[in-house]
Each structure stands twice: as structure tokens, then as C-alpha cells.
Amino acid sequence: MAKSESKRETANPSVSQPQTVFRHRLSTRIWHWVNAVAIFVMLMSGLMIFNAHPRLYWGQYGANLDQPWLVLPRFPGWATLPTNYDLALGRHWHLAFAWVLAFGLLAYLLWSLFNGHLRKDVALSRAEVAPAHLWEDIKKHARLDFHESEARYNPLQKITYSLVLFGLIPLLILTGLTMSPGMNAVLPWLVDLFGGRASARSIHFICAMGIAAFIVVHLVLVVLAGPVNEIRSMITGWFRLSPPPASSAGDSA
Amino acid sequence: MIITRRNILVGGAAGLLTGCDALGKNEDFRKLLALGEKGNFAIQRSLQDRMALAKEFRPEQRSPVFRVNGTHEPRGQAYATHVAEKFANWRLTVDGLVARPQAFSVAQLMAGPKRSQITRHDCVEGWSAIGKWTGIPLKLLLDAAGLKSQARFLVFHCADKMGFGTPYYESIDLIDAFHPQTILAWALNDQPLMIGNGAPLRLRVERQLGYKQAKYVERIEAVDDLSKLYGGKGGYWEDGAGYEWYAGI
């Protein structure tokens, strides 16, 4: 934090050459965009499938005469894929892009383990998870101050990415498999793990909503942190560090 | 139109949506998408032991009410007569590519060897219900009829007509046909099948979704090719609504 502040204090308009850093390696960028497409298709086709029976239950079974814990109105056409009700086509989309999502994540995680991305960029250090440090990071987020995290992920970012990479998406994949009667015969313990098919369907929906919430926050933060620079860095890999305030006018134009 | 950031966002999103809808209507793209489910079929069949059983439950784990879905009561005088006669003249024929075509009465089937299983019925729409099914293993009927070597699928012809005007029918391959849990059920929860649940006979293929569980079965036909029947996709919903033939996911 001292670094970014000192940079601002020593603002010098004559130093106009912005400093760029290489922030995202190729594997991260490819996975990000492939996964972005897959996640959107999965969410929207998932809402189409949900619309076929917009009720959620806990336990081994659940149908109209059983007690649901959540009943929702059908999601509107703009949120579903396809727009008009078509369960078969929604399932075609969902079950095709499930392969992209699952094997994309698997390839990315294996590759990131191999090239050190997980260890160097995502794993939290002991110092980072110290409460005082986390609190500092929360306060910075509340002030919309993202300068420190320009070159590296900040602790809140690391925690969030870890939750998505190792929590939400794997849970979505496993609960998705649990809903398949064919897979139940192959992996019966999976149904037991989630407490039944109706429970697995509920967890699947909750995780999907978690992903949707992540996307909203992710996009808001990208906009707040400078969308052109952020998106460019996820395409080319190169990120332009904030120039001193004096020359910042007109940036990201 | 004034170009604003909002317009670009809304327009862009709408454009993407219509683009996806257009893609979904494109025949070639649909075939590409369908590869996902064909892949599921291939991988499930390669991972699944042929005899691997669907999970069976304890009696107290059953749904309090087993929901009726699809046809609630087949239309027409023929079925009404069968109901009035308590299905005494209902015949299940087994024919097609078999050495010895058969016809069984319901009483004959009920007197034969039986299997009971408490299993979960998963509708493609997302709901599930658990019930106890009792019936005769399909394998016994096939053994009696003697499948010819060209036979590759079994088609289940049903007594109900639904919205698309054609009779309900479904089909399975021989792996599922000879699976120990594949039965022609005549009882649900120790009671004779109710009309809504498929009286007098219904197929149970426990490792697949609900639309495979054909109700009101009158005829089992052994065939070598599904493309010659009705819409050619191997089932009523497959022909009419585009559901995948393999319903294991």
C-alpha cells in the first residue's frame, strides 16, 4: 500500500510512459474466456431446465405433492436459453457445455498446478489471511481502492477465486452428475454424499446462484477498476499500472 | 437511435440471445450440441457395469404420494372396455424379430416369477418420486420369445395417444432389456397399478429418466432399427419434443 501511495505523491506529469506488467498468462486467458462462454450457457440453459419444475426440495425425492423449501416463478425469457420454453433444447445446450465447463476446469487446474499459477498467484500466504491484513483489504475494497491489487491478486480476490475454482464449480459438476440416474448406478456414493437427488438439485441451484452473484460482483469490480485496461489484460495479458493522478485523465478512453 | 453505453449493453445482450436462439434452431448446430448427450451415453455405458443396479430404497423412504404424470387415462372405447373388464382381456404380445411370438394375459404375468424394487423415478423436468414396483423381469419374456440375432432394440407400444396424435411408444437397447431391474410392472406400492400410473402394465428401466418408463404397454416388438418407426427417433418424446433417446442423464 505504501508503494502505490508513494507513487501518487511523487506524481510527475513528465513521466508519461505508463508502466505495463504481464499479469495473465496464456492458459489463464484462454480458460477465462472459454469458461466465461460456458458459464453463461450453463446458467441460462440451467434456468430453462429449472423452469420445467421451479420447485426445490431436500432429501431423496421431491415432486408436486411434497414439501418444497423454495418455489419460484418461472424465469423470464431473456434469462433462459433458449428464450422460449424448450426443455429438450435447454438440455442439449446444458449437457453439451457441461463437457466444456468440466474438462475446461480440469485442464486449467492441472495446468495451473503444473506451471505454478495456483501456488504463486492463488494460494494465500499466512500473512495474507491474518485478520488485520484481511480487514485492511476489506476496507480498501469499501473505498474502491484497487491499486495494490493491480499486479497481483489481493487476499479477498484469492479467497473468492479459490471458492469458485475449488468450491462452486466442482460442486456444480458433482451435483450435476448426481442428478443423472445413469451415473447413480456407477457412483451410488455420490447420491449419499449429497443426501439424495432432490438435495443435489437444490445444492446445484444454490451453487449456480453463487456463480451468478460472483459474476455480478466480478463485472462491477472490473468496471470500477477500469474496464478497458482490465479487459485488455485478460486478452493480451498486459496490464497498464495506474499512472500518477495528474496524467490519469483520459485514461481508458 | 442514440448510441449510449446502456444501449450497447442491452443491444449486445439481446443480440447474443437472438444469436443463441438462431444457433439453437440451426440443424447442424443442434447436431453438434447433441454430441454432448451422445458423449454422455458413450461414457456412461463404458463406465457402467452392465448389471450395475439403480439404488434401491427402504420402504419408509418412499414418497407419500407417487405423482401421476403424462397420460392420466388413455382415451377411447377400447381402453375403457379393458378397465370395465378389469384388464381380463388385455394381452401383451411379444413379436417382431423373435423366434416364437408370444401373447400373455395380465393374470399369466402376475402368476409368473416376480421382482420387487423400491426405486426412484426421475422426471426429465426435475422432480423425483420413490415407489415400490413389482413385476416380471423382461428377460423372462424375451427368453420365452427367443430374440433373433438381428434384434437390437425393443420397442414398447402403448395404448395411450397424447398431444402429437401418435401412440406413445418407447425403446431400449438390449443392455437395458436384460438388466435385472428392467421389469414389466403390474403393481405399485403393493397395489395393482392405478390407471394414472399405467395400468395394467408399465415398463421400468431404472437407470433412465421417466419418459422411458412406458405405461399401458400392449406390445413389445423386437427390431433391428428404430428409424422405421413413427418419427424415427425411437420414442414419443424423442420424435415430438427432441428429447435424447438415451435418458440416463
- State the virtual CA torsion across A121, A123, A128, A129 in degrees, nearest 10: 160
Closest CA to B146 of B91, B106, B101: B101
Q: Which among A65, A197, A198 is the nearest to B67, CB-wise?
A: A65
Kindly list the residues from chain A whose CB atom is less than 8 angstroms away from the CB atom of residue B5: none
Of B40, B127, B175, B207, which to mutate for an interface test with A (greatest number of A Cβ within 10 Å)? B127
pLDDT reported for residue A129: 85
Outline where DSSP puts E strands in chain B: 91-96, 102-105, 115-122, 128-137, 153-161, 167-173, 183-188, 191-192, 202-204, 217-223
Closest chain A C-alpha to B34 CA, distance in angstroms: 6
> Nearest-CA residue of chain A relative to B126?
A53
Q: Do A82 and B36 touch (CB under 8 A)?
A: no
Q: Do B36 and A97 touch (CB under 8 A)?
A: yes
Q: Does the structure show a pLDDT above 90 at A166? A: yes
Q: Which among A53, A61, A81 is the nearest to B63, CB-wise?
A: A61
pLDDT tens, B27-49? 899 989 989 999 999 999 999 99
**pTM value?**
0.90
Cell numbers that stand for A176 in this block? 450435476
Q: Does the structure show a pLDDT above 90 at A146? A: no
Helices B5-25 and B27-47 cross at an angle (nearest 10°) of 70
Q: Does the structure show a pLDDT above 60 at A249? A: no
For residues A208 and B56, what is the distance between their CA atoms, to the nearest angstrom?
Answer: 29
Q: Does the structure show a pLDDT above 50 at B103? A: yes
Prediction ipTM score: 0.92
Q: Which among B34, B124, B249 is the nearest to A182, CB-wise?
A: B249
Kindly list the residues from chain B whose CB atom is less than 8 angstroms away from the CB atom of residue A55: 127
Q: Do A181 and B54 touch (CB under 8 A)?
A: yes
Q: Which among B57, B122, B237 is the nearest to A181, CB-wise?
A: B122
Question: Are B170 and B221 a contacting pair, CB within 8 Å?
Answer: no
Q: Do B44 and A183 touch (CB under 8 A)?
A: yes
Q: Do B125 and A53 touch (CB under 8 A)?
A: yes
Q: Which among A62, A78, A179 is the nearest to B17, CB-wise?
A: A78
Cα-atom radius of gyration of chain B, to the nearest Å? Answer: 21
pLDDT band per the 50, 70, 90 thresholds, residue A13: very low
pLDDT reported for residue A22: 87
For chain B, the first-to-last Cα distance in angstroms comes to 46
Residue type present at position B191: Q
What is the count of residue pairs from A and B with beta carbons less than 8 Å apart?
A: 146
Residue appearing with cell numbers 468440466: A102
Q: Does the structure show a pLDDT above 60 at A15? A: no
pLDDT band per the 50, 70, 90 thresholds, residue A252: very low
pLDDT tens, A71-115? 999 999 999 999 999 999 999 999 999 999 999 999 999 999 999
Cis status, amide bond into B137, omega within 30 of 0:
no
pLDDT band per the 50, 70, 90 thresholds, residue B88: very high
For chain A, the first-to-last Cα distance in angstroms comes to 26
- State the virtual CA torsion across A178, B176, B243, A206 in degrees, nearest 10: -10
Kindly list the residues from chain B whose CB atom is less than 8 angstroms away from the CB atom of residue A102: none
> Nearest-CA residue of chain A relative to B19?
A82
Q: Do B48 and A61 touch (CB under 8 A)?
A: no
Task: Please list the residues that pair with B184 across neighbouring strands.
Answer: B136, B203
Question: Are A235 and A29 a contacting pair, CB within 8 Å?
Answer: yes
- Residues B97-111 have a mean pLDDT of 98
- Alpha carbons within 13 angstroms on the beta-carbon side of residue B40 total 27
Question: Are B66 and B129 a contacting pair, CB within 8 Å?
Answer: yes
Q: Which among B37, B127, B206 is the nearest to A63, CB-wise?
A: B127
Q: Does the structure show a pLDDT above 80 at A11? A: no
Closest chain A C-alpha to B103 CA, distance in angstroms: 31
pLDDT band per the 50, 70, 90 thresholds, residue A137: confident
Task: Please list the residues that pair with B153 across neighbouring strands.
Answer: B173, B223
Three-state SS string over chain A comes to CHHHHHHHHCCCCCCCCCCEEECCCHHHHHHHHHHHHHHHHHHHHHHHHHHCCCEECCCCCECCCCCCCEECCCCCHHHCCCCCCCHHHHHHHHHHHHHHHHHHHHHHHHHHHHCCHHHHHHCCCCCCCCHHHHHHHHHHHHCCCCCHHHCCCCHHHHHHHHHHHHHHHHHHHHHHHHCCHHHHHHCHHHHHHCCCHHHHHHHHHHHHHHHHHHHHHHHHHHHHCCHHHHHHHHHHCEEECCCCHHHCCCCCC
